[in-house]
Amino acid sequence: MSTEIVTAGAAHEPTRRELWKFIKNELRPKGRLLTPFNIISGITILVAIVLLTIRFATGLGSVTNLSQEFPWGLWIGFDVLTGVAFAGGGYVLAFMVYVMRMEKYHPILRVTVLNAFLAYVFYAGALLLDLGRPWHVVNPIIGNSFGLSSVLFLVAWHFMLYMLAALLEFAPAAAEWLGLRRLRKILAAMTLGAVVFGVTLSTLHQSGLGALFMMGKDKIHPLWYSEYIPVLFLVSSVFAGLSMVIFEGSISERVFSQRTSESVRKSRGSILVGLARICAATMFLYLFLKILDVTHARNWGYLFSGMGFWWLMEIVFFVAVPMVFFTMSIRRANLGLIRIAAIMALIGIILNRLNLSFFAYRLDAGVPYLPSWMEVEVTLAVIFAEIWVFRWVINRMPVLSDPPAWAKEQDAAAVARA
């Protein structure tokens, strides 16, 4: 297996024929096909295709346990709500690097933006699976029925625009891969604009996703319902996204070690400590907002009940404890503890979003919602499909590796001009 990133037109702008030949060559699989991961994920994806065919042919009820009482299940609670929170690292890191000029984090920016872009494509794309009439998804865009009074109008537009912004942010890497110098120059010049646009969109739709739950005041348990859900969603997306960056980085470090440049490898420790610091600070703010919210709504009485203990578990074990772990790990630059804290924080976010979607939703319904095996299977297939595309891109484009020399020269010239 080749360990070098091959780009088209190493010495010159490739001709159309050279480009086509290069792309055809790159489409071929690299490395062994029949690995345990490929076999398990391949079967999972194939089964999901069958299940989704049934779902689109006969309706949601044939594969899901959704009902009139529980319209939002695992596909919304995990794929969309949790997936978008996990993608928050993209906008946070882009803001830190391009706006705050925190160059230390530059080596991991591309992989984070790629992760965010793919998360939106796959997890927000999974929204289509859950829509009763998925072809209506274009209505807020084309104006058949804008739905201006709905939060979903904002979410629909923002998802679409953010995907474009993230694609623009990542596009220079694709242009470098294809050796398209002129296109890369144009795309690189557009990056800052795309970042500012993307950050603005993200702050609004991360909170907008929380705002969707404000209509469910009478249906959500008081410990989870809050008029400040949008703020809580926004703040939690910061540490959720950065915890995902830490978690994903730890896996990439092992799986793509041959693809990783020296600069990424050397700066990894210092980057992780920096990210842990931001996670600790935002989790501290989130914890405070949660306590303030319960106090403001005078919900302390609910804590001494089954759901109260469940809420306490979410807050103590998956917010307060990882916050302490992040804080402790900074002093000793304990990377192992940072990774443990990141995993705990991610579990906390999953719990929080699932609690809002169904565990703490319509407790009066009698029969609780639990996802069917088919919903779980499709969710796993979405995750595997994203990993396949992520791996394909990492193995080909300069994401973890250094960009080609001509791209560095372009950047240096742009800086000199500025």
Q: Does 336 interact with other proteins (rule: CB under 8 A)?
A: no
Q: Is 309 in the site for other proteins (CB under 8 A)?
A: no
Binder of other proteins out of 28, 101, 298, 417 (CB under 8 A): 298
Rule CB under 8 A: say whether 292 interacts with other proteins: yes
User: What is the Cα–Cα distance from 375 to 379, expressed in whole angstroms?
Assistant: 6
Say how far apart CA 354 and CA 78 lie, in whole Å: 7
Q: Which is nearer to other proteins, 255 or 328 (CB)?
A: 328
Cα–Cα nearest to 352, from 318, 301, 308, 305: 318
Rounded Cα distance between 69 and 368, Å, is 9
Of 97, 173, 195, 330, the one binding other proteins (CB under 8 A) is 330
DSSP-derived 3-state class of residue 261: coil
Q: CB count, 10 Å around CB of 344?
A: 18
**Residue for token digits 């995990």?**
78
189 binds other proteins, rule: CB under 8 A = no
332 interacts with other proteins by CB under 8 A: yes
Does 277 participate in binding other proteins (rule CB under 8 A)? yes
**Exposed e or buried b per residue across 24-61, where buried means at least 16 C-beta atoms within 10 angstroms of its C-beta:** eebeeeeeeeeeeebeebbebbeebeebbeebeeeebe
Q: Which is nearer to other proteins, 261 or 334 (CB)?
A: 334
Query: Quick check: 282 binds other proteins (CB under 8 A)?
Result: no
Least Cβ distance, residue 298 to other proteins (angstroms): 6
Binding mask 43-62 for other proteins (x = CB under 8 A): --------------------
Q: Are 243 and 345 in contact (CB under 8 A)?
A: yes
The first and second tokens of residue 222, run together, are 């008081």
338 binds other proteins (CB under 8 A): no
3-state SS assignment for residue 361 = strand
284 binds other proteins (CB under 8 A): yes
Nearest distance in Å: CB 258, other proteins: 28
Which listed residue (333, 367, 412, 413) binds other proteins by CB under 8 A?
A: 333
In this structure, are residues 79 and 386 in contact, taking their beta carbons and an 8 Å threshold? no
Binding of other proteins by 296 (CB under 8 A): yes
Binding characters for other proteins, 236-275, by CB under 8 A (x = yes) = -------------------------------------x--
Kindly tell me which residue out of 52, 196, 281, 380 binds other proteins, with binding defined by CB under 8 A: 281
Output the CA–CA distances (angstroms, integers) from residue 378 to 64, 75, 400, in the order listed.
10, 8, 29
By CB under 8 A, name the one of 30, 62, 265, 288 that touches other proteins.
Answer: 288
Rounded to whole angstroms, the Cα distance separating 110 from 113 reads 5
In the region spanning residues 107 to 146, those forming contacts with other proteins, defined by CB under 8 A, are none
Residue with Cβ nearer other proteins (78 or 105): 105
CA distance 401 to 3: 10
Q: Give me the residues that bind other proteins (CB under 8 A), please.
A: 273, 277, 280-281, 284, 288, 291-292, 295-296, 298, 327, 330-333
